[in-house]
Amino acid sequence: MRIAKIIKNGEVYFYLKHSIRIDNKIITKQKYIGKNLPKDIEELKIKFLEEFQELRNKKLEIIKNNFQKEWRKIPESIKEKQLNEISIAFTYNTNGIEGSKITLEETREIIKDKISPNKSIRDVRETENHAKIFLEMVKLKEELSEELVLKWHKEIFSDSNPEVAGKYREYLVNVGNYLAPDWQDVKNLMKQLFLYIEKEKKKVNPVEFCARVHYRFEKIHPFGDGNGRIGRLIMNYLLWKNHYPMLIIEKRKKKSYYKALTKDEEGFVSYLIRTYQKAHKKLLKV
């Protein structure tokens, strides 16, 4: 958002101008705010942004509503098969982002056929455990909690990395050039995150909300290993519980995903919402 100054016939006029990308189109709006900058300029900026958020949220609501219409038509036995396919795609991509060498077809064989490829036993175990947690997750009714997140982490990594499984880190870590918060602050930061979740979960559109929670979780980086995978599980649990289709961050797009995580929170939220709309663009046309 920027303040534009336009001079007409010797008179000065001030406008707020802002652009947003929706469906691969840049939409720009401007709002006249007077011949002088008003004292409540910050409040006007917030209200102006809310107009854009309403436009964006309508698109996201269309995705949700069309998804639910389609999902209700599907027989329960077919739903189960589809969720199994999602578990395969999600597990392959989320582990692949973190360096797993297991292919999509090998992921399918591990999950569906119980056939283990000649690959790292660590990668195989994490594939098995992640898919198991995912399929349990989509059936859960409980609210997201600290206990649930610790449980997921423990069950995914107990075979491959038992020293860190289900425990917050007790040491400093760097993520690229980013220095994560001091380990002594992790427990308190996680409590603050869950307070934020409880307070804001009904105030913000679920897609925006899951983006903010994912970003904040990754910035805390509470575990010694597996933060990305747990963060993406959290994101999809929040989407699914709110009746939105899930989002799989593809392995081949990990560079843009990592780049988005280096931005500030608003930059990451913008990235994730664009990615979500692209992933589900067919649901905007149903």
Angstrom distance (rounded) from CA 278 to CA 74: 23
DSSP structural state of residue 168 = B
In a domain, 64, yes or no: no
The residues pairing with 12 across neighbouring beta strands, listed in sequence order, are: 7
For residue 262, give the nearest of 273, 251, 254, 250 by alpha carbon. 254
Angstrom distance (rounded) from CA 8 to CA 2: 19
For residue 47, give the nearest of 24, 23, 29, 22 by alpha carbon. 29
In a domain, 138, yes or no: yes
Q: Are residues 99 and 147 in the same domain?
A: yes
Q: Are residues 99 and 239 in the same domain?
A: yes
Angstrom distance (rounded) from CA 233 to CA 248: 10
Our count of domains for the chain comes to 2
Q: Which residues contact 253 (CB under 8 A, 6 or more apart)?
A: 275
In a domain, 45, yes or no: yes
Q: What is the helix (H) or strand (E) element at residue 64, kind and residue range?
A: helix 41-73
Q: Are residues 31 and 94 in the same domain?
A: no
In a domain, 154, yes or no: yes
Q: pTM for the complete prediction?
A: 0.84
CB atoms within 10 A of CB 64: 19
> Where residue 94 sits, what CATH number does that domain have?
1.10.3290.10
pLDDT, one tens digit for every residue, the chain (286 residues): 678 888 888 888 887 876 766 555 677 777 778 888 877 787 766 666 656 677 788 889 999 999 999 999 999 999 999 999 999 999 999 999 999 999 999 999 999 999 999 999 999 999 999 999 999 999 999 999 999 999 999 999 999 999 999 999 999 999 888 999 999 999 999 999 999 999 999 889 999 999 999 999 999 999 999 999 999 999 999 999 999 999 999 999 999 999 999 999 989 999 999 999 999 999 987 6
Angstrom distance (rounded) from CA 130 to CA 124: 10
Domain of residue 273 covers 74-284
